[in-house]
Amino acid sequence: MRFLRVAIDVPIPRLFDYIAPETDDAIERGMRVLVPFGARQQVGLIVDVLAETAISASKLKRARDVLRDTPPLSSEWLGLVQFCSDYYHRPLGEVALSAMPPRLRRPEPLQRGVDAWQITALGRESFAKARNRLGDDKRAILDFLLTHASGLHDELIARIAQGTGAIRDLARRGWIVMAERSAPDWRFVERTPISHQVVAIDAIAASSDRFTAFVLHGITGSGKTEVYLHAIHRVVQAGHQALVLVPEINLTPQLAHEFRSRFPGLPIVILHSGLAANERALAWLDAQTGQARIVLGTRMGVFTPFKDLRLIVVDEEHDTSFKQQDGVRYSARDLAVFRARALNIPMVLGSATPSIETFANAESGRYRLLTLPERARDGALMPTIRLIDVRKDLPQHGIADALIAALRLRIERGEQSLVYLNRRGYAPVMACGACGWVADCTRCSAHQVVHMAVRGKQTSDAPRAAHLRCHHCGLVSPPPRACPTCGNVDLAAFGRGTQRLEDTIVDLFPSARILRIDSDSTRNKGSWESMRNSIANDEVDILIGTQILAKGHDFPRLTLVGVLNADASLMAGDYRAPERLFSQLQQVAGRAGRAALHGEVLIQTRYPHAALYQSLVRNDFRGFAQQQLAERTSAGFPPSTAEAVLRAEAHEIEIANQFLRAAVLVAPADRESVSVFDPVPMTLTRLSGWERAHVLMQSGSRRALQNFIGEWVTSLHALPAQRDLRWHIDVDPLEF
């Protein structure tokens, strides 16, 4: 008898043993398996095949079926999810199953075309003998595979493709196997790299057979993508595979287009959560079988199985969207580093503004720094950055005179401008001037944002509020007709979002062609694409946008960027806020003057002497990062310490606090190397109706912190479960 140790997606940190199904077929770890669990059946992952178990066989259930529509996951992949489970303290089953495409968590075999298979010698022989004893489907499949070239009409192929049961059966008998598709015919469209790019490309190639984490620090427009393309070229030329992680779904189609046009004919797959279920599973499978040579993906792409992965690129490595904010709270960037080290391959962390953690690793020599200090395009210089002191140049309707004049000049010259305001909607607050009432979200500790339905030609009359929306939980409500507290009918919208800014700019420049780009205006599928086209075709004079515009876009005629309301983030309490602001401003400033036309950036601020702005004006990331690192070190923040939080969520804050206090009582005794702070509510205390509080842990030793959490989690799981309360550990948290 054989036993299977199976990881199942349940919130219990243990594995489950089953008796293997009665079959002569090989069963390996890494295979998916359908098992009974409670009253239901679940797809789990086999992590071990055993000859005996500690539990007596009479108490074990039998696994239903080993799923063979995909090959077993490699031990490298199993090692990755095991590490993720250990490091983030989540059950292995939860990590492993949520790392897979949802389609592979269902037992029905993956639908693939018949032409994905080929007939074996055994199949040929047996088919010749047993032809007349086979069912119609099987006979048609084998006929098709035998006479592949002659071609069957589409209808029949479609019908056979549905008959996956027949395919599975033939595969089990060994009559057919997954086809070794012929090596694709592809080429690399060359472009001569400039000197700094050459240095970077060569350094990466020189490390092709061992782990090195390269930090590619390149200013905006320095051609980081070109370095990736060349480094990847060397890898795929040698027959290997490469993985590229990017922060946003938004950017993947563009990057995919660029990669496909530089590697015509090369199989490149894209992996992100927006794909249809079957498509995503097939892309994953293509990577696993080695068919796909380049995988471009968002953070979940880090879990892609590969046959022969030899390079990992993390583009915009500083981006916080690499950290998953619910479920298994992993950092795709950090897992990518682990994976490269485990595989002993090089990796590249690219950014114009590396995270302070990565910067510190480059400074200490743990990572190797590669620098692209100038723009790649002939004649393209960094834009000039100027600060507008709004205490002197008092803005009318939010826009200072100096910025208005600069916008006017661009319109006269026929160039494009971008006005950047990282706040969508019409106005961030609706309030009563008489009694001070503010429209708050009922489910979150946040104000509701005023949104207008459509942009109409505006006079400066009272706003026509269309609805109020919470930007945290999405709750939409109609604007009240009168103040619910005092009955005042004169409710006002305070502050300015992109919609209101658009109205202002339309008033200021009535004949200009104006386009607002934020996640509201680009919500419909394809609208962002068509907007990008109209910018490229010079059909826009002034762009108004949020950070959706800050990244990765190349608009050659854009020469002016105006930045509004940056000060709001300058004052934020979070120790990572300056880093994020610097990065955002550097990114958006980088949109100006990408081609031959010189760019100018105007930032409106009340604090022109702030160190952050001064570093920005000097284009001095290094100076900024060193100062941040020094501040964080003296304050005891990461990366000088390692952090984690135990977070509790309940419908009443007191329940969350009670749990945390009880949790602290059962915390391990090692308080010397790990500091445990008192429970505090999170900054955004209420989210979607959950009140949230947490306990912060810090340690100078990552290992000590890990041991501490490991022990603590065991005791926490042993605490009696409470209705209406949920808790989790967040390692290396970004939210406080």
List residues binding ligand ADP (CB under 6 A): 191-194, 197, 218, 220-226, 376-377, 554
Is residue 473 involved in binding Zn ion (CB under 5 A)? yes
Among Zn ion, ligand ADP, none, what does residue 554 contact (CB within 5–8 Å per kind)? Answer: ligand ADP
Side-chain-side CA neighbours of 21 within 13 Å: the count stands at 17
Asked if 7 contacts 44 with a C-beta cutoff of 8 angstroms, the reply is: yes
Based on CB atoms, which residue is closest to ligand ADP, 225 or 615? 225
Q: How far is the CB of 469 from Zn ion (least distance, A)?
A: 9
Based on CB atoms, which residue is closest to ligand ADP, 246 or 655? 246
Q: How far is the CB of 324 from Zn ion (least distance, A)?
A: 21
Q: How far is the CB of 409 from ligand ADP (least distance, A)?
A: 25
Residue type, 205: A
Q: How far is the CB of 190 from ligand ADP (least distance, A)?
A: 10
Q: How far is the CB of 79 from Zn ion (least distance, A)?
A: 40
Based on CB atoms, which residue is closest to Zn ion, 66 or 444? 444
DSSP letter for 192, please.
P
Among Zn ion, ligand ADP, none, what does residue 191 contact (CB within 5–8 Å per kind)? Answer: ligand ADP
Measured CA to CA, the distance from residue 149 to residue 597 in angstroms comes to 55
Please give the size of the binding site for Zn ion, defined by CB under 5 A: 15
Among ligand ADP, Zn ion, none, what does residue 237 contact (CB within 5–8 Å per kind)? Answer: none
Based on CB atoms, which residue is closest to ligand ADP, 225 or 546? 225
Among ligand ADP, Zn ion, none, what does residue 223 contact (CB within 5–8 Å per kind)? Answer: ligand ADP
Based on CB atoms, which residue is closest to ligand ADP, 348 or 468? 348
Asked if 141 contacts 160 with a C-beta cutoff of 8 angstroms, the reply is: yes
Based on CB atoms, which residue is closest to ligand ADP, 197 or 706? 197
Q: How far is the CB of 590 from ligand ADP (least distance, A)?
A: 6
Q: How far is the CB of 683 from Zn ion (least distance, A)?
A: 15
Contact partners, residue 275, CB within 8 Å, separation at least 6 = 283
What is the SS3 assignment for 505? helix
637: left (phi over 0), alpha (psi -120 to 50) or beta: beta
Among ligand ADP, Zn ion, none, what does residue 661 contact (CB within 5–8 Å per kind)? Answer: none
Q: How far is the CB of 607 from Zn ion (least distance, A)?
A: 31
Among Zn ion, ligand ADP, none, what does residue 565 contact (CB within 5–8 Å per kind)? Answer: none
Based on CB atoms, which residue is closest to ligand ADP, 101 or 221? 221
Among ligand ADP, Zn ion, none, what does residue 508 contact (CB within 5–8 Å per kind)? Answer: none
Among ligand ADP, Zn ion, none, what does residue 377 contact (CB within 5–8 Å per kind)? Answer: ligand ADP
Q: How far is CA 284 from CA 76, 101, 103, 166, 270, in A?
A: 15, 8, 11, 23, 9
Closest CA to 699 of 724, 668, 656, 722: 668
Among Zn ion, ligand ADP, none, what does residue 346 contact (CB within 5–8 Å per kind)? Answer: none
Based on CB atoms, which residue is closest to ligand ADP, 42 or 197? 197
- Do strands 600-605 and 309-315 pair parallel, antiparallel, or not at all (unpaired)? unpaired
Based on CB atoms, which residue is closest to ligand ADP, 376 or 406? 376
Residue 174 structure tokens? 């060994």
Measured CA to CA, the distance from residue 308 to residue 241 in angstroms comes to 6
What is the SS3 assignment for 205? helix
Is residue 148 involved in binding Zn ion (CB under 5 A)? no
For residue 725, list its beta bridge partners.
650
Q: How far is the CB of 259 from ligand ADP (least distance, A)?
A: 12
Based on CB atoms, which residue is closest to ligand ADP, 536 or 662? 536
Q: What is the 3-state secondary structure (H, E, C) of 397-429?
A: CCECHHHHHHHHHHHHHCCEEEEECCCCCCECE
Q: How far is the CB of 12 from ligand ADP (least distance, A)?
A: 44
Among Zn ion, ligand ADP, none, what does residue 664 contact (CB within 5–8 Å per kind)? Answer: none
**Exposed, middle or buried, 262 (CB in 10 Å: 0-12/13-18/19+)?**
buried
- Do strands 416-420 and 542-545 pair parallel, antiparallel, or not at all (unpaired)? parallel
Q: How far is the CB of 636 from ligand ADP (least distance, A)?
A: 34
Among Zn ion, ligand ADP, none, what does residue 94 contact (CB within 5–8 Å per kind)? Answer: none
For residue 294, list its beta bridge partners.
242, 268
Based on CB atoms, which residue is closest to ligand ADP, 261 or 511? 261
Among Zn ion, ligand ADP, none, what does residue 218 contact (CB within 5–8 Å per kind)? Answer: ligand ADP
Is residue 45 involved in binding Zn ion (CB under 5 A)? no
Based on CB atoms, which residue is closest to Zn ion, 118 or 488? 488
Among Zn ion, ligand ADP, none, what does residue 197 contact (CB within 5–8 Å per kind)? Answer: ligand ADP
Asked if 697 contacts 644 with a C-beta cutoff of 8 angstroms, the reply is: yes
Closest CA to 544 of 512, 511, 580: 512
Site for Zn ion in 417-456 (CB under 5 A): 432, 434-435, 437, 441, 443-444
Based on CB atoms, which residue is closest to ligand ADP, 42 or 225? 225
- Radius of gyration in angstroms for the set of CA atoms belonging to the chain, rounded to a whole number: 29
Question: What is the residue whose two structure tokens read 């939210």?
Answer: 735
Among ligand ADP, Zn ion, none, what does residue 72 contact (CB within 5–8 Å per kind)? Answer: none
- Rounded to 5 degrees, what are φ and ψ at 401? -55, -40
Based on CB atoms, which residue is closest to ligand ADP, 197 or 304? 197
Based on CB atoms, which residue is closest to ligand ADP, 201 or 660? 201
Q: How far is the CB of 350 from ligand ADP (least distance, A)?
A: 8
Number of H helices, E strands in the chain: 21, 30
- Do strands 449-451 and 642-650 pair parallel, antiparallel, or not at all (unpaired)? unpaired
Among Zn ion, ligand ADP, none, what does residue 376 contact (CB within 5–8 Å per kind)? Answer: ligand ADP
Chain position whose Cβ is nearest to ligand ADP? 223
- Rounded to 5 degrees, what are φ and ψ at 425? 95, -175
**Exposed, middle or buried, 133 (CB in 10 Å: 0-12/13-18/19+)?**
exposed
Over the window 480 to 499, marking each residue x when it contacts Zn ion by CB under 5 A and - when it does not, the resulting string is: ---x-xx-x-----------
To 5 degrees, how large is the angle CA 558–CA 524–CA 554?
Answer: 20
Based on CB atoms, which residue is closest to ligand ADP, 376 or 561? 376
Q: How many residues does the chain have?
A: 736
**Exposed, middle or buried, 145 (CB in 10 Å: 0-12/13-18/19+)?**
buried
- Rounded to 5 degrees, what are φ and ψ at 293? -100, -30
Cis peptide bond upstream of 428, omega within 30: no
Measured CA to CA, the distance from residue 303 to residue 335 in angstroms comes to 9
Residue 24 structure tokens? 């002569």
CA 481 to chain centre: 40
Q: How far is the CB of 223 from ligand ADP (least distance, A)?
A: 3
Among Zn ion, ligand ADP, none, what does residue 441 contact (CB within 5–8 Å per kind)? Answer: Zn ion
Q: How far is the CB of 355 from ligand ADP (least distance, A)?
A: 17
Q: How far is the CB of 316 from ligand ADP (least distance, A)?
A: 9
Residue 493 structure tokens? 């919208």
Asked if 177 contacts 203 with a C-beta cutoff of 8 angstroms, the reply is: no
Binding site for Zn ion (CB under 5 A): 432, 434-435, 437, 441, 443-444, 470, 472-473, 475, 483, 485-486, 488
